[in-house]
Amino acid sequence: METDSNTLVRFVEGLRCVEHNDKEMELYCTTHNAACCAKCSSLYHRTCDEVLELNANVTNLLKDINPPKIMEEMLKFQGHLSTFLDMNKANISSLKSQGNNPYYRGIAHLHGGEIVLADTNNNTCCLYDSSYNFITMYSLHFSPYDISLIDDNEVAVTMPLQNTVQFLSIKDHLFKDTARVTTRYECDGVATVNKMEIVVAGHCGDNDLVTKCYWSLISTNGKENFHNEFDCPRTTQAYIALNTCKSRVYISVCGGHAVYCFGLIDVRHYFIYKANNLTYPLGVAVDMEDNIYVVGCHLDNINKLAPDGTILQVISSGIPNKPNRISFNANQDQFILTNNSKCKSLHYFTHK
């Protein structure tokens, strides 16, 4: 098919106005980017910036078209797209789960490279090796929501429906129930301070309409050493992370669409981070430089914050079915993301 200017000019010269059938479309309005007849021009386009003869406008337009340049840009874009897809495929590890429709909420990294995942839908903790091959699982009485490494052979698992944190030892690839502690309210998130203390977070009530969240410092023997409550509009789940020196507490509150920062020692309220690009934050993690990474589930992104709560960057998650939980693996200097429900895969990335 010919695409030179004469061919297109002959084509447009034959078009007639829909409103005025006896008039040809011989003019072009640059304000509305529309062809029109002389009558339409006088009726509707008198105040427009410029109305040109249509054949002249088509000719000038074709002079600006550079087919080789367009093809070059298309090939460049195709190369970028292929590179992105290859990288995304390389950074996805499929998991052979023993349960149906797994919902991996909690992630713990063992020092030997193994990973423990808390599967909410199947009431289990699953152990995978460093290549993400399934090793074994442990059945719980209730749904686990989060998991944290106490030491190389022990993890703490939250079960908010029972206001309980369960401690499990892992030896020779076998789980064993070692202890349980009861929390004042439902406990969604958990983070480890040291071998003797953990911090838990949740909302102060038994429904989604409560407007207070809490975090508590609890000894592994069950003693509540400190309890702090704070206002938060329409709370649901609350998850938690600590900075590297264990002096700051970061709490992501899903329904409140915000991240709160408190001092673990001085109990000072340092900042609240809320932004239009952060909705339903289901996870929070901290890297070795104390930068904070918050998962925005509904917008498929990750908000990277400086230690003082200043936004540094909004990162596209690049994963299907919405990002859910995030965890930092200090041994490999990388993050791991889980998908939303019913996805048997992990997504990992490094970011500087």
287-297 tens-digit pLDDT: 999 999 999 88
pLDDT of residue 297: 82
Residue 79 domain-assigned?
no
Residue 297 domain-assigned?
yes
| 237 and 288, same domain (yes or no) | yes
| 14 and 94, same domain (yes or no) | no
Query: Where residue 31 sits, what CATH number does that domain have?
Result: 3.30.160.60
Q: Left if phi > 0, otherwise alpha if psi is -120 to 50, otherwise beta: which for 300? A: left
- Is pLDDT of 167 > 80? yes
- Determine contact, residues 310/301, Cβ cutoff 8 Å: no
- What's the domain count of the chain? 2
| 233 and 324, same domain (yes or no) | yes
Residue 23 domain-assigned?
yes
Rg (CA), the chain: 29
Nearest to 252 by CA among 216, 218, 292: 292
Query: Where residue 244 sits, what CATH number does that domain have?
Result: 2.120.10.30
Residue 306 domain-assigned?
yes
H helices of the chain, in order, are 5-13, 38-44, 54-64, 67-90
pTM for the full model? 0.71
Q: Which domain holds residue 49?
A: 5-65
DSSP 103: -
Residue 163 domain-assigned?
yes
Say how far apart CA 162 and CA 60 lie, in whole Å.
Answer: 73
Packing angle between helix 5-13 and helix 54-64, nearest 10 degrees?
Answer: 150
Least confidently predicted of 107-116, 150-159, 227-236: 227-236
pLDDT digits over 93-148, tens only?
556 555 667 888 899 999 888 999 999 989 999 999 888 888 999 999 899 999 99
User: Which residues does 20 contact at the CB level (< 8 Å), separation at least 6?
Assistant: 37, 39, 40
